[in-house]
């Protein structure tokens, strides 16, 4: 595509085969038929079937489905139906959560069709944006949203808000002269781009690119080409599932071989019945070893976290993304609209001898006591064209709106009558209005401080006397004014100077001279940080999370906002990134937390570079320019008031635009991860104990302490209910004072695995002793059933004690989760029901007597002593 910004207006029209009168209607229709409509390719619709299928795509689910299939083959239909019911319920919960989240996102989209004013056959007419073609002449006015990329042909004080595309917070003043070199979109001041909007002035432009060829179209293509990455939780669960699968297969084969060896040692013949019996024992052991309730636990924990986040105005698009927030150790944040309000605000007003800081509590009182400051803010209202925009909330020049809001905060109004105006232009760099106020005709002027100071011969000052007086401007005062606006500029504030003079009776309002002015003062403004951002960044630092600011603004502005929000580190610009190879960028990323003047490609390189270093990266943003990086990041967080393109690319949408919600989300994600980890600990400790009991019994030649049905009941019901109750467990007190989970760490770190093995092994040894003491070592069926019943009951008590012992290592208060207590009571109640009702005949167990109950209580006490010692050592 030609570099239209480098060509003259005449050359551009020639290249596009059009003229200043626009295309004919026939030619426009021909081009529309040839090149297609001016629209972006819509993202592929989210298939409900794909969402449903994704709920069943992990290794643990595959293991359970295999168990279902085998149970059906050997005729254990009850077991297979129970497991299948849990899997289906788990899939339904996850499906509806993600499906509803995507429907909620659709409701956020703006449905209005963009209209464009174009010249066709030399006449102005309005068409929909989709009907535009290259060569069309656009007529641009205040408030218009730009429907396509275009080269400007004529401008009258034209300013655009380009923050959705470039991240530039200040309006960009446009011109028509060619530009040399290879400037980025933010520096192509003779071009306008799709998705930006006119905040002031008017102009004519010729369309140079439509649809996918526009800057926003290129970004859309980058998004569609980005590969969907698995979340850390998905990767950890997959790795965990595969590891446990290999262990289970190994144990099952070993048990099967041991059983076959015992048969050979005893000299008994191998029959088909015995072979199937041994195979069934081995497969039952596999079912016992798989944490059957884990998929449901993970899904419900994530679902509960999703609802909590929605109450905090954070919409979750992908269920597994909730936990990913808790794993991230870097947040790459856009500046405009994310860290800042995207609203210019006057911070200081300054006059010779006095000033006001709006951040100070007594600032407004200072204005009331000073005639100088009153005059300064009155001039800001009088010399202003955005009053109607402020009242109607319909947009307008951000600088002028900031002046009006400052005056309103100070309680200052202007009731005079406007007589004439000299609009701002880039040559004079000032604007003036003639007004009639209190029977006097005055000229108020505002503009760039250097220009205004050159036009001033006097200044107003208020010394010790209550009245304000007018004095000649000496070199000392000029230096004082110059030093002040340079000081404001060094803080990345935009500075506007104000002056006035009286208009004589014989002056012509059409030719008002902007000379011999009296200097009033300066108003310094900036796009300030959002409320709560500073404390949120500090909280992130305490949680060992690095915050990086990425913006399209200039270096000075980026550094100023970084200082105000507490972001520390070096600053690097987009052109400097272009000069780096990947190795240089990797080194730069170690010390740089501020990136200025960047384009979408830079954001993707930054995110990729951080991911290559092993970081889990969250990227926040609201503009079209943020979308590719949102998609590339491990977790993309779009601002609710941002663009639809950003929403589509993100995993989260902040409905209230609050940066503090991100930190709340991180806390939620960490809490969810810990709750899932606790559930896995509970499930695996019990499962390990069951596997060891069977394995050791086979190894030592004992009778089997547990039947397949008892194993399945424990896994699905006894420990399933408390594991699910962990989903609503409150979070530990120090959850935001620890580092994030390292990316390479499994879902259970070594310390947790050691604890799990210790607890499971102690429980297994106690179970075997109980089994032998209570009749399990005999040859009578009734004695073996009694021993199995005692072991079955002990494992239930073991699991219930374990529920509370595990919480100690996570610093969770004992009585803080009533659902957990309900789950424990439910599990114990079902155990009593099985033992003392006719249900015992179904499970082939016996009612326990006083002696056996005493054995159980003693065994439980013996287990608690070492368990409490082990879990007391170090909190999580």
Q: Are 803 and 862 in contact (CB under 8 A)?
A: no
| Torsion sign over Cα 46, 51, 53, 57 | positive
d(C-alpha 377, C-alpha 349), whole Å: 8
Query: Other CB atoms closer than 10 Å to residue 147's CB: what's the count?
Result: 27
Structure tokens at 751: 């310390």
149 is catalytic: no
d(C-alpha 729, C-alpha 733), whole Å: 12
| Torsion sign over Cα 528, 530, 531, 532 | negative
CA distance readout (Å), 235 to 247, 630, 641, 745, 747: 18, 20, 32, 10, 9
d(C-alpha 241, C-alpha 239), whole Å: 5
Instruction: Supply the DSSP string of 833-865, one letter for each residue.
Output: HHHHSTHHHHHT-----HHHHHHHHHHHHHHHH
Name residue, tokens 């297969």: 249
The Cβ-side half-sphere exposure at 587, using a 13 Å CA radius, reads 4
d(C-alpha 382, C-alpha 404), whole Å: 9
Q: Are 545 and 666 in contact (CB under 8 A)?
A: yes
CA distance readout (Å), 153 to 4, 178, 231: 11, 11, 48
To the nearest 10 degrees (0 to 180), the angle between helices 59-73 and 294-311 is 140
> What's the full length of the chain, in residues?
876
Catalytic residue among 79, 329, 334, 622: 334
Instruction: Pinpoint the alpha helices (H) of 735-780.
Output: 750-773
The strand pair at 456-461 and 517-526 is best described as parallel
Interacting residues of 435 by C-beta distance below 8 A, sequence separation 6+: 382, 414, 416, 417, 418, 419, 441, 442, 443, 444
Q: Provide the annotated active-site residues.
A: 334
């Amino acid at each position: 595509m030609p570099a239209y910004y480098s060509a003259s207006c005449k050359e551009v029209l020639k290249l596009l085969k059009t003229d200043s009168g626009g295309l004919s209607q026939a030619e426009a229709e021909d081009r529309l038929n040839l090149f297609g409509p001016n629209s972006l390719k819509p993202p592929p619709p989210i298939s409900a079937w794909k969402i449903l299928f994704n709920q069943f795509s992990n290794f643990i689910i595959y293991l359970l489905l295999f168990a279902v299939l085998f149970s059906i083959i050997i005729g254990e239909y009850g077991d297979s139906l129970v497991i299948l019911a849990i899997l289906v319920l788990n899939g339904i919960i996850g499906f509806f959560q993600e499906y509803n989240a995507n429907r909620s996102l659709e409701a956020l989209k703006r449905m209005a069709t963009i209209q464009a004013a174009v010249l066709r056959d030399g006449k102005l007419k309005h068409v929909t944006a989709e009907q535009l073609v290259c060569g069309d002449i656009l007529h641009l006015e205040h408030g218009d949203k730009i429907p396509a990329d275009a080269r400007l042909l004529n401008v009258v004080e034209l300013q655009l808000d380009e923050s959705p595309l470039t991240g530039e917070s200040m309006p960009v003043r446009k011109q028509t002269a060619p530009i040399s070199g290879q400037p980025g979109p933010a520096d192509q001041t003779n071009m306008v781009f799709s998705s930006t909007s006119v905040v002031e002035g008017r102009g004519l432009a010729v369309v140079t690119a439509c649809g996918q060829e526009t800057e926003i179209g290129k970004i859309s293509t980058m998004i569609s080409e980005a590969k969907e990455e698995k979340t850390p939780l998905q990767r950890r669960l997959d790795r965990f599932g595969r590891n446990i699968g290999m262990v289970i297969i190994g144990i099952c084969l070993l048990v099967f071989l041991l059983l076959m060896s015992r048969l050979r040692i005893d000299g008994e013949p191998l029959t088909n019945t015995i072979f199937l019996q041994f195979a069934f024992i081995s497969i039952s052991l596999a079912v016992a070893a798989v944490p059957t309730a884990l998929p449901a636990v993970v899904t419900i924990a994530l679902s509960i976290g999703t609802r909590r986040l929605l109450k905090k105005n954070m919409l979750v698009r992908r269920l597994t993304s909730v936990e990913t927030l808790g794993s991230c150790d870097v947040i790459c944040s856009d500046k405009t609209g994310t860290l800042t309000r995207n609203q210019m605000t006057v911070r200081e007003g300054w006059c010779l001898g006095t000033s006001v800081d709006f951040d100070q509590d007594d600032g407004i009182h200072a204005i009331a006591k000073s005639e100088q400051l009153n005059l300064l803010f009155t001039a800001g209202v009088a010399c202003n064209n955005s009053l109607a925009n402020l009242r109607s909330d319909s947009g307008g020049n951000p600088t002028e709106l900031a002046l009006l809001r400052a005056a309103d905060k100070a309680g200052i109004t202007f009731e005079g009558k406007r007589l004439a105006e000299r609009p701002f232009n880039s040559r004079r760099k000032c604007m003036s209005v003639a007004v009639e106020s209190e029977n006097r005709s005055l000229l108020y002027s505002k503009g760039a401080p250097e220009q205004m100071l050159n036009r001033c011969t006097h200044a107003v000052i208020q010394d010790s006397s209550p009245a304000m007086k007018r004095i000649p401007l000496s070199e000392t005062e000029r230096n004082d004014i110059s030093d002040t606006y340079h000081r404001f500029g060094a803080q990345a504030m935009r500075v506007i100077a104000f002056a006035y003079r009286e208009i004589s009776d014989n002056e012509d309002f059409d030719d008002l001279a902007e000379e011999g002015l009296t200097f009033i003062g300066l108003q310094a403004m900036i796009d300030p940080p959002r409320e709560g951002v500073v404390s949120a960044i500090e909280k992130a630092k305490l949680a060992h999370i690095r915050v990086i600011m990425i913006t399209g603004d200039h270096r000075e502005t980026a550094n100023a906002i970084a200082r105000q929000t507490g972001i520390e580190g070096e600053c690097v610009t987009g052109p400097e990134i272009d000069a780096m190879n990947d190795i240089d960028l990797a080194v730069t990323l170690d010390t740089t937390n501020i990136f200025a003047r960047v384009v979408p490609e830079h954001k993707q390189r930054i995110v990729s570079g951080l991911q290559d270093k092993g970081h889990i990266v969250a990227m926040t943003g609201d503009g079209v320019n943020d979308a590719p990086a949102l998609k590339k990041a491990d977790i993309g967080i779009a601002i609710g008031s941002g663009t639809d393109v950003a929403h589509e690319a993100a995993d989260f949408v902040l409905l209230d635009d609050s940066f503090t919600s991100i930190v709340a989300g991180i806390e939620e994600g960490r809490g969810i991860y810990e709750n899932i980890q606790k559930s896995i600990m509970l499930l695996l400790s019990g499962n390990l104990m069951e596997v060891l009991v069977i394995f050791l019994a086979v190894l030592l030649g004992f009778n089997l302490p547990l039947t397949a049905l008892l194993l399945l009941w424990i896994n699905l019901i006894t420990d399933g209910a408390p594991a699910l109750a962990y989903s609503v467990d409150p979070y530990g007190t120090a959850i935001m004072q620890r580092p994030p989970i390292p990316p390479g760490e499994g879902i259970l770190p070594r310390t947790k695995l050691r604890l799990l093995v210790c607890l499971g092994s102690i429980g297994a040894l106690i179970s075997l002793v109980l089994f032998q003491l209570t009749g399990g070592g005999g040859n009578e069926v009734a004695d073996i059933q009694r021993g199995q019943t005692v072991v079955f009951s002990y494992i239930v008590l073991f699991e219930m004690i374990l529920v509370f012992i595990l919480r100690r290592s996570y610093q969770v208060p004992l009585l803080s989760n009533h659902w957990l207590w309900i789950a424990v009571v439910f599990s114990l109640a079902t155990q009593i029901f099985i033992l003392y009702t006719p249900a015992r005949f179904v499970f082939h167990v016996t009612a326990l007597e006083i002696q056996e109950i005493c054995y159980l209580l003693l065994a439980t006490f013996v287990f608690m002593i070492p368990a409490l010692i082990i879990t007391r050592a170090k909190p999580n």
